[in-house]
Amino acid sequence: MGEAPPGMACTEKAAMNERRARLRRALGWLGPIALLLLLFLPGTFGGSGMAPASTPLPSPPAAASGAAPTTRPSSAPTGAPDLAAMVSAVEAQVSALRELAPLRDVPTEIVEPAAFRTWAEGEVARHQNAELTRCRTRVLVRLGLAEPTLDLRRLSLDLLSSQVVGRYDPTTRSLTVVNRGAGFLVPLRITVAHEYTHALQDQHFGFATLRSGTGVALPVDRELALQALADGDASLLVATWMRDHVTTEERGELERLVAAAPAPAMPPVLARQITFPYVEGAAFAQALYDSGGWAAVDAAYARAPASTAEILHPERYLAGWRPITVEPLRLAAPAVDDGWHETCRETLGELGLQAWLGSQPAGPGQTLRPADEARALAEHWTGDEVTLWEHGSSWVLGWTTAWDSDAAGASFAGAAAASPAELRRLDRDGVRVTLRLAADAAALELPTAAH
């Protein structure tokens, strides 16, 4: 079943915290404008994370014969800079800095916001499975991480069409840049650097390979880990690129733009997942780079991280640690024969645990648990599985978690016992803890099948 993650010496933890602090300073613009870098939206929650996804990882089609033109710009407003020339210059700088030569041209199209909105509506309609989105929204709601009014599809469309300034599409292997006017030139250049890095990643390592060519939705924890590898790599590259190619005056311009941008309304868990691939992903990429330069980052695509825990703790990844497999809650045959059916299954991972623990009271009648306490407990996660069973309007959710010690399991059980949910049941077997939530008392007491 796997071993518990190795302990982390105080010096190692201090070094990791310093690395993250350094990258947060270097990427200070990234948190607030991470939404500007969102580029694709194949699904939500499990298909590409609970939040609108950043890096697309579908299987690309076979390469078309013949070289495509390097740039296919649409008409730009009178007096606008030569955006096509800017794109080409940034691409050349990125290729040299990332130490990855382009294997083929990347067709680039410059479009106006209205055209991009039309494209975004089509992408959401094509790539979001409506029933899957509704089901996974219910998981967030059942866990108390979102309000029943959450509309992930509408949120996805609004973010994609209003915030994005560029995207790389591995299906067409092309880059689209949104011309939002002269005031957006700095974030546009940054976005081109970020997205062209994705094009180089795809050419050399293959996004389809990361998903093993399955074409199916991955557990949210694994999907976020893959996004963090690709977006962390690109974010580290951009942070390095900015030192030489973004002036102090331009940084000030960017800060003013970020300060003026309205923050979209969304549950904290989604906001956390949006920034995670960029900030924590960049810290992960930095740790790999420190261990062996860009070659070490390149090697990660052949052994991609499988959990957010590996992103949050690069030393575990470098030591070969992997999360364990956890058996989900299964209802006994009589319940299944009566019409109960499993509608969702997910792995929330350490990041999901952080979000859930931070949304719970620290004890009966107490205020919410501080973020540092939530992170400290979640560090002991080794695996989990969430299942949602439904029958008509009734439902029961089972969340089985695995921990690296009995003490950690007991701590999580204590945290779950303080949950404000009225209908809950806890079962603990050493390092395994199952939290069951239900719509009614009868659902809570449904018999489970033996593993």
Long-range contacts (CB closer than 8 Å, 24 or more residues apart) made by 421-428? 421/144
Expressed in percent and rounded to 5, the helix, strand and coil fractions of the chain are 50, 15, 35
Distance in angstroms (rounded) separating the CA atoms of residues 408 and 402: 9
Contact indicator for 274, 51 with CB cutoff of 8 Å: yes
Nearest C-alpha neighbor of 309 from the set 300, 301, 318: 318
Q: In what order do the strands lie in the sheet with 174-178?
A: 108-111, 174-178, 166-169
Q: What is the pLDDT of residue 163?
A: 59
For the whole model, what pTM was predicted?
0.84
Segment holding 109, helix H or strand E: strand 108-111
pLDDT of residue 109: 86
CA distance 378 to 416: 13
Helix (H, G, I), strand (E, B) or coil at 15: helix
Per-10-residue mean pLDDT of the chain, 451 residues long, equals 47 64 56 41 32 31 32 37 85 98 93 79 71 80 91 76 74 86 82 94 88 66 93 93 91 79 79 88 95 97 96 97 95 95 93 94 80 95 96 96 97 90 91 96 92 64
Burial category of 291 from C-beta neighbours within 10 Å (exposed 0-12, middle 13-18, buried 19 and up): middle
Cβ neighbourhood burial of 403 (10 Å; 0-12, 13-18, 19+): buried
- Contact residues for 438 (Cβ-Cβ < 8 A; gap 6+): 394, 395, 396, 397, 423, 424, 425, 444
In order, the DSSP letters of 114-167 are HHHHHHHHHHHHHH--HHHHHHHHHHHHHTTSS-TT--HHHHHHHHHHHH--EE
CA distance 192 to 74: 16
Tokens 């997942």 -> residue: 273
Angstrom CA distances, 125 to 43, 121, 153, 177, 335, stand at: 10, 6, 9, 21, 35
Both structure tokens of 392: 């008509």
Tokens encoding 118: 């039309």
Q: Are strands 108-111 and 174-178 parallel, antiparallel or unpaired?
A: parallel
Q: Please state the φ and ψ torsions of residue 383, each to the nearest 5 degrees.
A: 170, 160
437 bridge partner residues: 397, 424
Spell out the residues 6+ positions from residue 255 whose beta carbon is closer than 8 angstroms to its own: 29
Residue 77 CB neighbours (<10 A): 9
